[in-house]
Amino acid sequence: MSLAKTVALHTLGCKLNYSETSAITRLLEQDGFEKREFTEVADVYVINTCSVTDNADKECRQLVRRIQRKSPGSIIVITGCYAQLKPEEIASIEGVDLVLGAAEKFKITQHLKDLTKGNSAKICSCDIEFDTSFSLSDRTRSFLKVQDGCNYNCSFCTIPMARGKSRSNSIENIITQVKQLAESGVKEIVLTGINLGDFSPPQTPDRGGLQAQNFFDLIRKLDQAEGPERYRISSIEPNLLSNDIVEFVANSKKFMPHFHIPLQSGSNKILGLMRRRYRKELYADKVHLIKKLMTHCAIGVDVIVGFPGESDEDFKETYDFINHLDISYLHVFTYSERDNTAALQIKPVVPMSVRNERNKMLRNLSYRKQNAFIQQHLSETRKVLFEQRNKNGLMEGYTDNYIKVTASYKEEWVNQIVDWKI
């Protein structure tokens, strides 16, 4: 192929995918590509897919069709979880030239070198290793991947198939990366992973023996190392959120008072069917401990509604459980069937109309929880990190405890931590 020089990228899915798209962009830029917006014409288009997003295949097909209409001669590359899970299906989409699995996506420049626009797509997918990635689109905040993959087997989830077994970066590498990010001006780093609490870096020799390290070791070392002013922990399973971690965050100046803890259901029966590794009582204990030590702490909760077998009573149990919990906001997901998952065997299936109704009820509850949380902090002065973008004369930022603030744009506040009365 004549060497393509412009590339446009699009991300579907989670924060981890965003940080990986940033890493892929940097690799392509180092190889001489110029980045274009996805809406513009480019020589190469890359779509980083997700297997958790509903209708991943539909979204992917639509994007490919749009590219073909706009720029029929461009190379189209599909990567990410969906590409790892269903490479053949993606390769059969008309217009797709290259399908890169989880390990191959960071070798994209090599793959592009000997590729020509043709009638069939080349599939490259092999074993999955750990690849470093972080996002750096806006210098204020960066999402840094420290762990990938998952050894759990939740019955609804395709991530272990798509991203492989749990693996982690070494603490030494992470310390080097955070130092570099801070030197480039990043003020806040969000530690991300698929199952972050399962962080277990390659073992290092220590006083003659091999020493196993965990997520608690990582945050303690980061707290002492040179790095940004702020850290956030993106999402952590309740059974892996140890009391040590909570107590540490409560006393740290660098780790922000904010946890995101997947609950998925407030019914122990449904948690069992989901093969989650905790019960609601443990979840409630964690929330109580956090709020006892940090009354101002934000707590976000993931919930899935309409899981097979979820009766009206089970849903009510979930609703009441969350309603009584001192949490700050919810991310509500409607259960959707995924190929090759154990949940497909569970009956009865919940009708889609009921799933949608339950989703609406929990979104309303989330709205009330979020408002109540903000009300609790009105008139307080909290530290806000303002971001770069000027949106019609306004700028946005987040407090330490994740309250979004909008202010009149002031250039001197960009990427600064400012005392702000809420």
Structure token pair of residue 203: 């073992």
d(CA 63, CA 61): 5
Least distance in Å: CB of 267 to ligand SF4? Answer: 17
Q: Which is nearer to ligand SF4, 115 or 346 (CB)?
A: 346
Q: Which is nearer to ligand SF4, 164 or 397 (CB)?
A: 164
Least distance in Å: CB of 251 to ligand SF4? Answer: 28
The answer to whether the CB of 111 falls within 8 A of the CB of 75 is no
Q: Which is nearer to ligand SF4, 187 or 280 (CB)?
A: 280
Q: Which is nearer to ligand SF4, 152 or 409 (CB)?
A: 152
The answer to whether the CB of 369 falls within 8 A of the CB of 327 is yes
Q: Which is nearer to ligand SF4, 237 or 387 (CB)?
A: 237
Q: Find the binding residues for ligand SF4 in span 165-194 (CB under 6 A).
A: 194
Least distance in Å: CB of 154 to ligand SF4? Answer: 3
d(CA 152, CA 269): 18
Distance of CA 315 to the CA centre of its chain: 26
Which of 33, 30, 29, 36 is CA-nearest to residue 9?
36
- Give, to the nearest 10 degrees, the angle between helix 215-224 and helix 243-251: 10
In Å, how far are 15, 133, 255, 308 from 18, measured between CA atoms? 5, 9, 22, 31
Q: Find the binding residues for ligand SF4 in span 141-170 (CB under 6 A).
A: 150, 152-154, 157, 159-160
Least distance in Å: CB of 153 to ligand SF4? Answer: 6
Burial of 252 (0-12, 13-18, 19+ CB in 10 A): middle
By three-state DSSP, how is residue 366 classified? helix
Q: Which is nearer to ligand SF4, 177 or 235 (CB)?
A: 235
Q: Which is nearer to ligand SF4, 96 or 270 (CB)?
A: 270
Determine phi and psi for 94, rounding to 5 degrees: -60, 130
Q: Find the binding residues for ligand SF4 in span 227-246 (CB under 6 A).
A: 237
Least distance in Å: CB of 282 to ligand SF4? Answer: 15
**Binding map of ligand SF4 across residues 378-397, x = CB under 6 A, - = no contact:** --------------------
Q: Is 135 in the site for ligand SF4 (CB under 6 A)?
A: no
Cis, bond preceding 257 (omega within 30 deg of 0): no
List of residues contacting ligand SF4 (CB under 6 A):
150, 152-154, 157, 159-160, 194-195, 237
